[in-house]
Structure 1
């Protein structure tokens, strides 16, 4: 922590806390289960706090945290061998009747996103939902920008075909 000043740890932790809702949203899309998502966010925050000294001032903290979250998710997926457990919960949520205008469409979009291949789902969520630039999303995933752009484009095309034209 040399060269950061006395209040740097506080600012670092405050910045992490401010990003927690975005981390939770991304984790929910990755894990497709609220409990698993909360576990992922907790693991991400723990890793970020444990490795506070390796983060460098002036770098993109949001991208760094999202990469930690993504790596934690991949670690869990490797350990468990599958990420399909959450589909039952997603289907149960979708079976509930819509009570407000737009809820049905939102559920339909959620199901369409969930049906995308994992790589496309991750790319479209980072760029479209979480508003990362392509360069930031490429840094999070460790992919070349062109590969990420192609995944976003394929995801958008698949969603357009699946959801069809809107009135």
Structure 2
């Protein structure tokens, strides 16, 4: 059985000897010395953390070049989803609905939910919030599917009444906030 500290020393020695070739390969991929150095550093960190998966005696350069190449392409894919915004052109146009209104709506909803009968609250939470089917909710509540549907219908009607909601358009940003957000996306 090989000595683990000897294997670690051999791995380190081979890794260090491959650094100049790794750096040259990294420069050839990205064309910038500073990015190449970062790429080599990331490769060494990954190789070091995965050294137990490397078999001594095999081609460490090929293994390291594969890690470096995969890391390079991973960074390219990631960068493709990122937008450089040094002049804050994009970020200055971003706008979102303020979350305090949503928090207040949620508080109102929870207060209204507490006011409906337990069996209706249980049914609406099981189906509408927890994602159970009517059949599963009926089984959990030990009742018929029609009973669950009826309880949910009554719960929805009562919540609509308690929250003074007439239609779905009353949810989300108020008209002023919606106009600002819409204008941001239009420009």
Smaller-chain TM-score range?
A: 0.3 to 0.5
Q: TM-score normalised to the size of structure 2?
A: 0.41
- The structure that has the greater radius of gyration is 2
Q: Relative contact order (alpha carbons < 8 A, sep ≥ 6): 1 or 2 greater?
A: 1
Q: TM-score normalised to the size of structure 1?
A: 0.46
